[in-house]
Amino acid sequence: MICVSIAEPTVEAVLRALAQAQGQADLFEIRLDALEKPAVAPFLSVRKKPLLFTFRAEEEGGFRPVPLSERLTWLREAASAGADYVDLELSAGPEAIRELLKVSRTTKLILSYHNFEKTPKEDYLKDKIKEMVEMGAAIGKVVCMAKEVEDGLRLLGLIPWARECFDIPLMAFAMGPLGKWTRVVSVLLGAPFAYAAARPGGATAPGQLTAEELRKALALLSEEKIS
């Protein structure tokens, strides 16, 4: 599946982007950290496809510095209101994760780890995934900056490993120019979805493809039709 990430400064701009990208996406990520005045209800009220709400910490790629307490308030609101997914950094800690899980009745919790500097060693990344499992994640996410092509191979190998060892769906891919290909292959290896930009210039992370580019690449590499 293709998750189109929407990062716009106003509610109105997000609503326009959602309407324009309906045909490109299987689900949408709403980047609350990009909004000047965060909101949840306006998007849920017009939901036609699954919605993932993310309020990313600045140190893991967020658009601005916001205290964890405020970010958690908005994610709790999204989960309480029945969002399909919410994403919280593993680094937020056990207490914050437990707090979010309490209100996530039907909402699936994605616990994520991002490293914009490098791709750590495999054992370190596996330990992060184990923590995600122990903390109650429905889905794990591990994204790191690729300094060499081999970094992407290390990350992709985590997808079948997580499935075999913990039966947890994992999104794992590399950022940056050397990691673009991993965004495509990750889905073929079983990642629940891949993130894409709605339009050129709308990327929310280094190396992110547009939804059109991602769909074409998947179609080329897969014998099955990508819905």
Query: Residue 30 annotated as binding?
Result: yes
The position carrying tokens 């060693």 is 121
Residue type (1 letter), 204: T
In contact, 113 and 89? CB cutoff 8 Å: yes
Residue 182 annotated in ligand binding? no
- Let me know: does 33 contact 64? Beta carbons within 8 Å: yes
The answer to the question of whether 6 is labelled as a binding residue is no
Identified catalytic residue from 108, 114, 128, 180: 114
Tell me which of 141, 147, 180, 216 is the catalytic residue: 141
- Decide if 48 is catalytic: no
Q: Is 183 annotated as a binding residue?
A: yes
- What's the CA angle centered on 151, arms 148 and 157, to 5 degrees? 155
Is 29 known to sit in a ligand binding site? yes
Length of the chain: 227
Three-class DSSP category at 193: coil
Known active-site residue 141: yes
Report the interhelical angle of 122-134 vs 158-166 (nearest 10°): 40
- Residues 6+ away with beta carbon under 8 Å from 81: 40, 41, 44
| Neighbouring-strand partners of residue 197 | 5, 210
Backbone angles phi, psi at 92, to 5 degrees: -65, -25
| Count of other CB atoms within 10 angstroms of residue 42 | 13
Q: State yes or no: 47 annotated in a binding site.
A: no
The one-letter amino acid at 69: S
DSSP β-bridge partners for residue 52 = 29, 85
Q: DSSP label at 158?
A: H
Active centre residues (catalytic) = 114, 141
Annotated binding site for 3-dehydroquinate: which residue ranges? 5, 29-31, 56, 183, 204, 208
